[in-house]
């Protein structure tokens, strides 16, 4: 029996993995996908964005909540035995034929341990890694978001015995590039041609021989460019260098943590965006994402923030937020003061 192809989407926080997968889902053209979505934090924001596709072609291809498995118990590369393998076995046990498995890692996941897990005896005979796709936010790279915090990261490393590498954010970024079979630059419409060339020069040294660097605008990407790579990545581990190759299998991500806050409806979108900007700066957060229910707007609001760049928009696929509840996930370094962030945010929101 032919193996089922699986594609792993990796990439740093806010690179655009979920929106890319959503575009892919809209072009399934009769293929039956199973989705395994790994969140960082206890709320399934990315899974909800995908399951709420709401477009005609999604409906025609019968993408349902049953096709999506969310792993929200931590970084997928650290919970392979407890979470990833049982989830894969659940997919394989389904009666319905699966044509392709789409895996979205959290922004903090190391890809190589996940690829290695496909050699597990209960998985290897049935699934192969068609390709590892690394998604990169070109605008963020151009802004220096991965390199302009060297001093702070070094101070964190020295203060935390659990961190065994010098620059965790940069190291993570390198790992995601070095394991990739295809690298996609997203958000290129936000930078000019000179900046784009600069980004390419920064990324290229980390790519293995023959790996494509694809430049695509935010809203278009043909499905044939993503699927059918045929990498067999689980049999090609030696060619995918990792900082952890000479270390123990276990590794810590205690240098990151998340905080989830649920609250009611919001009256003023502009006020909310200003509050989030202050929260990011005052508490040195890496990422904010979630859904907003507005009092006088029927559409559900979506928040996606990376560093100090905040994107607040309305999800046209949800004409009405039935729950009337807002949910945000705040992601930062391990030493963020969760109680102060919660108090600071809720106080500003209600003032």
DSSP characters for 22-57? HHHHTT-TT--EEEEEE-SSSS-HHHHHHHT--SHH
Backbone angles phi, psi at 250, to 5 degrees: -75, 145
Report the predicted TM-score, pTM, of the whole model to 2 decimal places.
0.68
For residue 268 the two structure tokens come to 């003023």
Give the residue from 133, 234, 239, 236 showing the smallest Cα distance to 186: 133
pLDDT tens over the chain, length 351 residues: 689 999 999 987 678 888 888 888 877 777 888 888 876 544 444 445 455 544 444 444 455 667 777 776 555 565 566 677 888 888 888 878 889 999 998 777 788 888 988 988 888 999 999 999 999 988 888 887 653 333 443 444 444 343 333 436 778 888 899 999 999 998 888 899 999 999 999 999 999 988 988 887 656 667 777 888 999 999 999 889 887 776 544 454 445 677 889 999 998 889 999 999 999 888 888 778 888 988 888 888 888 786 667 878 887 655 555 668 898 988 777 678 889 999 999 999 988
Can you count the helices (H) and strands (E) in the chain?
11, 12
**Cβ partners under 8 Å of residue 197, min gap 6:** none
Phi and psi at 268, nearest 5°, equal -125, 110
The contacts of residue 138 (CB under 8 Å, 6+ apart) are 185, 186, 187, 188, 190, 191, 195, 196, 199, 215
Q: How many CB atoms lie within 10 A of CB 59?
A: 11
- 127 within 8 A of 92, measured Cβ to Cβ: yes
What whole-number distance in Å separates Cα of residue 36 and Cα of residue 117?
A: 14
Please list, in sequence order, all residues whose beta carbon lies within 8 angstroms of the beta carbon of residue 271, skipping any fewer than 6 positions away: none
Strands of 182-186's sheet, edge to edge? 68-71, 33-38, 100-104, 4-11, 127-137, 182-186, 212-215
Give the separation between CA 170 and CA 181, rounded to whole angstroms.
19
In this prediction, residue 194 carries a pLDDT of 95
Torsion of CA 204, 134, 160, 165, to 10 degrees: -40
9: left (phi over 0), alpha (psi -120 to 50) or beta: beta
Which tokens go with 140?
A: 């963020």
At residue 290, the pLDDT reads: 84
* Closest residue by Cα to residue 326 from 347, 341, 346: 346
pLDDT of residue 48: 53
**What confidence score (pLDDT) does residue 54 get?**
42
What pLDDT, on the 0 to 100 scale, is given for residue 53? Answer: 47
Taking alpha carbons only, the member of 223, 238, 14 closest to residue 99 is: 223
Give the three-class secondary structure for 305: strand
Residue 350: exposed, middle, or buried by beta-carbon count in 10 A (0-12, 13-18, 19+)? exposed
Q: Is 269 helix (H, G, I), strand (E, B) or coil?
A: helix
> Is residue 87 a contact partner of residue 69, using CB atoms and an 8 Å limit?
yes
Alpha helices in 145-268 (DSSP H): 150-159, 168-178, 193-203
């Amino acid at each position: 029996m032919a193996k089922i192809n699986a594609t792993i989407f990796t990439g740093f926080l806010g690179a655009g993995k979920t929106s890319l997968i959503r575009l892919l889902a809209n072009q399934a053209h009769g293929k039956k996908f199973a989705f395994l979505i790994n969140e960082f934090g206890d709320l399934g924001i990315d899974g909800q964005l995908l399951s709420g596709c709401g477009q005609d072609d999604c409906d025609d291809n019968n993408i349902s909540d049953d096709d999506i498995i969310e792993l929200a118990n931590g970084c997928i590369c650290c919970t392979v035995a407890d979470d990833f393998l049982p989830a894969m076995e659940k997919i394989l046990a389904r009666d319905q034929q699966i044509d392709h498995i789409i895996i979205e890692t959290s922004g903090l996941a190391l890809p190589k341990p996940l690829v290695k897990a496909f050699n597990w005896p209960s998985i290897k005979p049935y699934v192969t890694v068609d390709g590892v796709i690394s998604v990169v936010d070109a605008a963020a790279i151009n802004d220096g978001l991965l390199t302009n915090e060297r001093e702070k990261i070094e101070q964190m490393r020295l203060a935390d015995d659990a961190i065994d590498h010098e620059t965790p954010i940069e190291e993570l970024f390198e790992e995601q590039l070095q394991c990739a079979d295809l690298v996609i630059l997203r958000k290129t419409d936000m930078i000019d041609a000179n900046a784009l060339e600069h980004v390419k020069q920064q990324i290229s040294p980390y790519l293995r021989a023959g790996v494509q660097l694809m430049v695509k605008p935010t809203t278009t990407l043909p499905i044939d460019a993503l699927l059918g790579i045929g990498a067999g990545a689980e049999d090609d581990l030696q060619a995918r260098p990792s900082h952890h190759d000479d270390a123990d299998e276990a590794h810590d991500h205690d240098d990151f943590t998340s905080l989830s806050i649920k609250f009611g409806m919001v009256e003023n979108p502009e006020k909310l965006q200003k509050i989030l900007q202050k929260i990011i700066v005052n508490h040195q957060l890496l990422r904010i994402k979630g859904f907003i229910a507005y009092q006088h707007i029927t559409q559900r609001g979506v928040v996606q923030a990376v560093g100090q760049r905040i994107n607040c928009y309305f999800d046209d696929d949800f004409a009405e937020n039935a729950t009337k509840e807002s949910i945000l996930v705040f992601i930062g370094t391990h030493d963020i003061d969760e109680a102060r962030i919660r108090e600071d945010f809720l106080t500003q929101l209600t003032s």
